[in-house]
Amino acid sequence: FFFSSRRRHTRSLCDWSSDVCSSDLLAQRTIVVGMGNLGRALLSYPGFQSRGFEIVAAFDTDPKKIGVRIGRLAVRDLTELEQVVREHQVSLAMLAVPADAAVDVARRLWEAGVSGILNFAPTSLVGGEYVNVDVAAELQQLSFRARGRTTAQAASSASKRRRRKGRKPPQK
């Protein structure tokens, strides 16, 4: 994942979730902000509960999405954000909003009492505890590692073929 060069934010998503899951709380109350494709996918993901995360609310600003049920939750208007965070004692948020909205929404989340944000918006946050996730950068890193592995495997296979034919490897 792409991480900000700012303080204490160069942690992997796995480290972040392990810290949260090993906390003394039984379930971390979590919200998802932004109900585009990614937000809906996050909201629908069944693996959060088994890891100790309870998704308690979903938010968006689009009137066409507000009130629509996704799974067991109805999408709420973003104007209700602070009230819901306080009422449900939300500690974590997943942010899947456009870049131009991310910083303002993150500020509102921290001011309302959220202690950590997993940011999927294509911009870096500054402020409280957060992890910036850049899926494209991760895919790029995976591609680089996979390409390197494929090259190494090809070289190893060529070496084995030469040994079977009794040839020596080329001299450097």
Where is pLDDT greater, at 153 or 66? 66
Minimal CA–CA distance to 34: which of 58, 69, 67, 68?
58
Contact 25, 87 (CB under 8 A): no
Report the distance separating Cα 118 and Cα 127, nearest Å: 13
pLDDT at 29: 97
pLDDT tier for residue 167 given thresholds of 50, 70 and 90: low
At 128-158, the pLDDT tens digits run: 889 999 888 889 999 988 887 666 565 666 6
Assess whether pLDDT exceeds 50 at residue 43: yes
12's CB contacts (< 8 A; 6+ apart) are 1
* Cα 4-6-11 angle, rounded to 5 deg: 60
At 104-134, the pLDDT tens digits run: 999 999 999 999 999 999 998 988 889 999 8
